[in-house]
Amino acid sequence: MNEHPKLTLNMVGPVAEDVARDYPNRAISGPDCRYADADATVPRCLVGHVLHRLGWSVTELRELDQTELPSASTAIYDLIDYGKIDADDKARRFLANLQFRQDMGHKWEDVINFAVGRL
């Protein structure tokens, strides 16, 4: 993995809002929830798009998907705990709320509203 700066809410919040504005009606859930598909050249999920816009390559996103995790529902927490992503507590909670709501199949516009409302 390349070196990336520690994620803060001030970094991820505005980027997530931009992604949700770009794809307000996108919704994915279940097995479709991956940071990037194996043969993809672009990210797949909302958090993947956020990380990509913050400098993560699609290859790095695929590597995140390959990480053995105890549960998909806690993936972002686990990736941070395992040192795959460096984020402060506010960014961690925000990204977890994004991922949680998205994985339930909500439209990204609704996902961002939920996550912002939980700050």
Residue 115 in tokens: 């996550």
CB 4 within 8 Å of CB 57: no
CB 106 within 8 Å of CB 46: no
- Report helix, strand or coil for 104: strand
**pLDDT confidence of 115, banded at 50, 70, 90?**
very high
Distance of alpha carbon 107 from alpha carbon 25, whole angstroms: 5
Please say if the pLDDT value at position 1 is more than 70. Answer: no
Can you give the length of the chain in residues? 119
* Residues 13-47 pLDDT 10s: 999 999 999 999 999 887 778 889 888 888 999 99
Closest CA to 94 of 15, 13, 22: 13
Mean pLDDT of the chain: 90
- Hey, where are the domains in the chain? 9-117
